[in-house]
Amino acid sequence: MFSYQPPLRDMQFVLNDVLRAPRALSELPPFSEVDADLIQQVAEEAGRFAKEVLFPTNSVGDAQGCRLTEQGVVTPDGFRDAYQQFVAGGWPALACDPAYGGQGLPHTLNVILYEMLCSANQAWTMFPGLLQGAYECLHQHASQELKDRYLPRIVSGEWLATMCLTEAHAGSDLGLLRTRAVPQEDGSVRITGNKIFISGGDSDLTENIVHLVLARLPDAPPGSKGISLFLVPKFLPEGSNELGKKNNVLCVGLEHKMGIHGSPTCSMDFDEATGWLVGEPHKGLAAMFVMMNSARLHVGIQGLGIAEAAYQNALAYAQERLQMRAAVRPANRKNEPADPIIMHPPVQRLLMTQRAYVEGSRMMALYCGLLLDQAAHHPDSVRRTQAEERLALLTPVVKALMTDQGFEGASMALQVFGGHGYVRETGIEQYLRDSRIAMIYEGTNEIQAVDLLLRKILGDGGARLQDFFDEIKHTTIEKAGGEMETYAQRLNRLLADTGQVLTHIGQLANSDPSLPFMLAPDVLRLLGHCALAWLWLQAGAVAVAGDSGDLRFYQAKVHTARYYFEFVLPEADQRLSILRSAVQNSKEGRSLPLLSDVMEDYAS
């Protein structure tokens, strides 16, 4: 049977030993009283909810899916009850402003919470997953009147929220959208248009839903510079926030999807629906990007959550499943007809690769949670800016790398299960199906790679990247000597090689404009490994000196760090080889082979 155990011990290790989060958070005025005990208490309660309340709804949600009725979307059995318990526990308000009913706790704790929710039930987690982004967007850009009316209900989770961006003809190219917004004398607007692929566009979990909609005002310039953002509720509030009449917003269809069946992916029709401008006219993308960047980090955490649950169950199965005799057998098994498959080296490779990515991704996710808190609250403006820039650099890496590995981890786990993984009874195939979407929505992973290379690296002349590399180099110097010295030297070489090849790509971008676009996915994987190797170097060094009272845990951490450097990090050498070859071809005037070069052959 598929199961889930909250990885509380590993979270504790990352936060307390590697990132020293309690100390880092204590430097931020709002969190001066947040200590290790409080963090552990929140993690334990979040884990209990994920395991005991949410996880039992996962397979039910996959089997039943959502239904569109005349009354609206009906969610699977147990989803509504789980959401009511989630709201009653105050979880939506965890990292929100106390002025609007929030608990005022760090974003770092939200990372802990949402990893475990995604492990337990990714489809359900997509409902509250957009609340934090909607809160941040409105908190930063909405008028005080809108904030006073809507934020308390969003912060409490009493009302859910959506992002309404995509249109059938536009996809990720938001500059092509056609939805119209016509101003009214009372300061509102009338929104008309159709949106597709809207996660949670309608449901029976809450009585109201706040849609954040991109549309064009009548005087809007063409393209992305003419997009504005509007708040459009399902029901229009009246008086002291009582619900009034139904707005002209309707879910007209549900997508039949490969996975995340418990999450309704809606086609939405806005027929002169009443809405209000959020932020400035024609500046909607800047406001919406607050929500989109939050969503991208959340989707990366989805990949982590899926990978963790998949690894846990693959490991448990491998310890129980007896198949063939291992190459090396302990004396007490010499007369047994078969051994647990965990004793077979190829299965160990599958499991250790999953483990290295899962634990490395957790370090990266929690590090980004700390950056969010520092960017918002550090008393030193220089440190705030540095955290913002670091987060901007790493957000596409988190989204793309961690969702790639979520799917790959689920696939490796299914491989451990063998034929039993390919049938529904064991549960792993659902995680494989559910995880695949994360590589697509909130900007495909290819779009993330292009954003990273062209905007975040080449766009500022490499300043953000150099700042990050300087910190990594400081760590390699600090960790020199001892068991991890070889790996510190290897990481230093990787930084030098990466910096050199990126310099060449930047120099060639003007004369060969397609080059960075073609190489962006390799650059993203390469930078991802720079970050993972940096975190594993720290984790390994901490574990080497770990408390002998928990010797087995720390030894396992050292072994996993070694495995990462010996078996996983060499992917970086492959990516460097690809980049160097492409750079050399470009320098010598040889274009990269593209499908367009052979299309004539197909046509003929």
Residues with a catalytic annotation lie at: 442
Which amino acid appears at position 596 of this protein? S
Give the whole-angstrom CA distance, residue 396 versus residue 446: 10
Tokens 């459009």 sit on residue: 232
The tokens describing 407, both together, are 């799917």
Residue with tokens 């991704």: 361
Q: Alpha-carbon distance 364 to 530, whole Å?
A: 11
| DSSP state, residue 180 | E
Burial classification of residue 95, based on how many CB atoms lie within 10 Å of its CB (0-12 exposed, 13-18 middle, 19 or more buried)? buried
Q: What is the residue whose two structure tokens read 């990126």?
A: 502
Q: Do residues 321 and 423 make contact, with C-beta atoms less than 8 angstroms apart?
A: no
CA distance 477 to 144: 49
CA atoms within 13 A on the CB side of 131: 33
Token couple for 158: 């009493």
Tokens 């064991």 map to which residue?
426
The pairing of strands 265-278 and 235-238 is unpaired
Q: How far is CA 258 from CA 56, 62, 124, 400, 403, in A?
A: 21, 10, 16, 20, 16
Half-sphere exposure of 599 (CA within 13 A, CB side): 4
Q: Are strands 249-254 and 242-246 parallel, antiparallel or unpaired?
A: unpaired
Identify the DSSP state of 434. H
Q: Per the structure block, which two tokens stand in for 545?
A: 């000196």
- Give the whole-angstrom CA distance, residue 529 versus residue 493: 13
Residues 314 and 2: their CA atoms lie apart, in Å, by 9
Instruction: Give how far Cα 538 sits from Cα of 119, 331, 357, Å.
Output: 26, 37, 15
3-state secondary structure 206-258: CCCEEEEEEEECCCCCCHHHHCEEEEEECEEEECCCEEEEECCEEEEEECCCC
Beta bridge partners of 182: 190
Buried b (16+ CB within 10 A) or exposed e, 457-470: bbeeebebbeebbe
Tokens 């700390």 locate to 370
In three-state secondary structure terms, 291 is: helix
Chain Cα centroid distance, residue 6: 18
